[in-house]
Amino acid sequence: MQLSAHAKIRGPRAEQIILFRISGQLFAVSSASVQEVRGVDSLAGMAQEIPLSTIRKVRHSVRRGEGTLYVVNGGVHFGLPPSAATLVFFLRNTRVALLVDGIDRMSSMTQLQAMSHAFCHEERRWYRGLTALDQTVVPVVDPSGFLSLEELSLLEKAMEARNLGSEAGETYRQ
Amino acid sequence: MKTAAELELQSYVLLRLGERRFALAAREIAELVAPSRVFRFPQQTKEIEGVILRRGRIVPVCDVSERLLGNKLTSRRFYLLAARKYGEHTEWVALPVSGECELINAEMMPAGESDSNHVAGWLSHGAEVIEVLDLEALTPGPGTLSTHHPEVSAAQEARP
């Protein structure tokens, strides 16, 4: 039996990934999931504090287009020791701007192994799976795993409380 | 012709954890491998300390000695790769062991009501009475899941 030319050249599909670090730990994210990478300094003028946030990993929001994004501290999210973030990833199709320490390199993966069922807690939401790169294992983050619906709802309430507070302040000043 | 007693004999792998020996059904054992680098990453399943790479597979490492003996192994000689069932499908889990393993044929006595849930039964071997371990009770699995997650295949091709 002869294979078609298309079948002959078809190998495993590769996915472009960004390898990045938070508190020394290496992670990967699909480059297609990252809409923009900026320095944290650029947030200085646009980030607003959320004083009543009950979500420890989120302390600021950013207006972007029509919507509001929440700035997620990756170290707090993953339970890692504090570190100095230098970059922020704006994650596509989410409301997350993720603080990271730095980009390690760009790479590509051809295999993504789903999390073993032995892992049975929050990590199942955090990661799409694990990949082996250069004889090391790297967790591939799931952009939708940084904020749950419950957390988003709590943040919305904190934002409303902040906005009401600032409106009341303006009325009082008038 | 086999006797009734012979029909009950099954193969078990005896594994050493510290000063004690335990048994697993041989059908649950994939291989015994030398210790290799454990890759750690943030996760919250405390029974799993990380993963090893074996023949292209990423295998979680579960030190069961803490549960069985009350403390972690101080020295590891091998990882016993065991096939752990999760409902319909099976995945490998690496169990650190501190000594040689031995394959024996023996008849298992069923566990009693007062035994811990990780005890599948008992073997009498030499002068020892050895616990046969129930991997599903001993290692973590979806029973302890706190949130719902859709089932995913054991290995999937990366998305472009």
In a domain, B144, yes or no: no
pLDDT score recorded for residue B151: 35
B157·A114 Cβ contact <8 A: no
For B41, the domain range is: 7-139
In a domain, B154, yes or no: no
A119·B45 Cβ contact <8 A: yes
B158·A112 Cβ contact <8 A: yes
Domains recognised in chain A with CATH numbers = 13-173 (2.40.50.180)
- Give ipTM to 2 decimals: 0.87
From edge to edge, which strands make up the β-sheet containing A87-91?
Answer: A34-39, A87-91, A96-100, A67-73, A58-64, A47-49
B97-111, pLDDT tens digit by residue? 999 999 999 999 999
A48-78, pLDDT tens digit by residue? 999 888 999 999 999 988 899 999 999 999 9
B115-158, pLDDT tens digit by residue? 999 999 999 998 999 999 999 999 999 875 444 333 333 444 45
Check pLDDT > 80 for residue B2.
no
Check pLDDT > 50 for residue B49.
yes
In angstroms, the CA A129 to CA B74 distance is 30
**Residue A155 exposure: Cα atoms within 13 Å on the Cβ side:** 25
How many distinct structural domains can be found in chain B? Answer: 1
Quickly state the pLDDT bin for A171 (edges 50, 70, 90): low
Q: Does B58 touch chain A (CB under 8 A)?
A: yes
pLDDT score recorded for residue A173: 55
Q: Does B84 touch chain A (CB under 8 A)?
A: yes
Choose the mutation target among B57, B58, B79, B138 for the interface with A, i.e. most A CBs under 10 Å: B58
Choose the mutation target among A116, A123, A125, A135 for the interface with B, i.e. most B CBs under 10 Å: A116
- Which of B39, B62, B158 lies nearest to residue A15, judging by beta carbons? B158
The token pair that represents B4 in the structure block: 């009734």
Give the DSSP H or E segment for A67. Answer: strand A67-73
Q: What angle do CA B39, A109, A85 make, to 5 degrees?
A: 65
Q: Residue range A144-167: average pLDDT?
A: 88
A15·B145 Cβ contact <8 A: no
In a domain, B152, yes or no: no
The pTM of this model reads 0.85
- Which of B44, B84, B157 lies nearest to residue A121, judging by beta carbons? B44
A85-139, pLDDT tens digit by residue? 999 999 999 999 999 999 999 999 999 999 999 999 999 999 999 999 999 999 9
A141 CA: distance to closest CA in chain B (Å): 11
Strands B89-97 and B78-86: antiparallel
Check pLDDT > 60 for residue A28.
yes
The token pair that represents A58 in the structure block: 């989120």
B86 CB neighbours in chain A (<8 A) are 117
The CATH number given to whatever domain includes residue B53 is 2.40.50.180
Quickly state the pLDDT bin for A167 (edges 50, 70, 90): low
B3-30, pLDDT tens digit by residue? 555 446 899 999 999 999 999 999 999 9
In a domain, B159, yes or no: no
A120·B84 Cβ contact <8 A: no
